[in-house]
Every structure is written in C-alpha cells, then in structure tokens.
Amino acid sequence: MQPHESPTTTRRLQQVRAKQPYEAIVSDHGATVLRVCRAILGPVDADDAWSETFLSALRAYPDLPADANVEAWLVTIAHRKAIDVTRARARRATPTDHLPEPPSTPEAEHDDDLADALVRLPDKQKRAVAYHYLADLPYTDVAAILGGSTVAARRAAADGIATLRRTYPGVASTTAAARKGGTR
C-alpha cells in the first residue's frame, strides 16, 4: 500500500485487477444478451438495445464488484434498455406507406416464428421465458429483475412456455435444447 492510499482504495484496486477484461465480458455474454433483446423486443430493435446495454455496462463496469454475477447484471441492464426502447417506440409515429427492410441477421441463429410467438406473450411471461430459458438465469435472478418473488417468476415462465407449446409447435424441442445448452 502506498502512503497516500487508503485501505478502501487498495481493496478496490485489488478487486478491479481480479475482474475479467471488458472485451471478454462482451465476448462471453454478448450472444445471451442479444437473445434476450430479440425475445423481448423482436429482431428490429434488438441490435440497438444490445448496443445500448453494452455501452451502459462499459460505463458501470469499473464499479461492479469482482464477485458479481456478470450475466445477471447484463440481463438486468438489457431489461431496462428494453423498457426504454418500448417506451420510445410508443412515442414514435409509425410510417404506413411502405414496409421497413428486414433487419440484417447476425451470425447467431434465430427462429423468426419463435420470435413472433414470444412477442405475442404477455409482457411478464415473455420476460420470464427470455431470462430463464434464453439467458439461462436461475429463477431467483429472474425474480430480482422482474421485481417479484421466485415463485411468481417460475409461474410466469411456466405459463409462458405452456402458451408457447399451444401456439408454436416447435417450442418443446427448442426449450429442451436451450436448457441443455444446445442453442448457445
């Protein structure tokens, strides 16, 4: 410890050194955050929300404790950015003269029919399904993000999956693969 450093400063510097480089965080969790953004916002606004998530995370990363659950932290930021995009979309006028060009698809695979089925779910169910099945977060983290109990998060996800099974025939195999890590 230097003579001008306090014990708190020294401890904080040690924590910063113990964390992964930010580039590794983006590399490790970028696909998960993109899947969550697509599930909540659809393919059109997902890329913007993804970018905003990582820009916001970049600013806050130095203050994140070294032992924090980075994936849950990023999904929480993505959740808030999705709310911002949804609110902004509600304030914008929608042109009706022509259809927008389809968004460019990144290298990650996605199923447009499944994305459409997810978008039609009630908001809480859609978010619970996205956070648990696509981001692979435990229900305790899902509950913290959604602002409810673990039981409520589990119920919302179960109801969402039940609705998807009725409305989207391929969801049973898709969710089973996601739980095993097959779609990551």
- Residue 11 CB partners (closer than 8 Å, separation 6+): none
Confidence of residue 183 (pLDDT cuts 50, 70, 90): very low
Burial readout 157-178 (b: 16 or more C-beta within 10 A, e: otherwise): bebbbebbeeebeebeebbeeb
Same domain flag for 124 and 156: yes
What are phi and psi for residue 182, nearest 5 degrees?
A: -75, -20
Residue 75 reports pLDDT greater than 60: yes
Same domain flag for 175 and 132: yes
Within a domain: 106:
no
Same domain flag for 25 and 88: yes
**Mean pLDDT across the chain:** 80
Answer for the pair 129, 25: CB distance below 8 angstroms, yes or no: no
Within a domain: 120:
yes
Confidence of residue 115 (pLDDT cuts 50, 70, 90): confident
Within a domain: 99:
no
What are phi and psi for residue 55, nearest 5 degrees?
A: -65, -45
Please report the pLDDT score of residue 156 as a whole number. Answer: 95
pLDDT (mean) for 77-86: 90
Residue 128 reports pLDDT greater than 90: yes
Same domain flag for 87 and 117: no
Please report the pLDDT score of residue 167 as a whole number. Answer: 83
Q: Which domain holds residue 148?
A: 112-184
Within a domain: 60:
yes
How far is Cα of residue 120 from the mean position of the Cα atoms in its chain? Answer: 18
Place of tokens 């659950």: 69
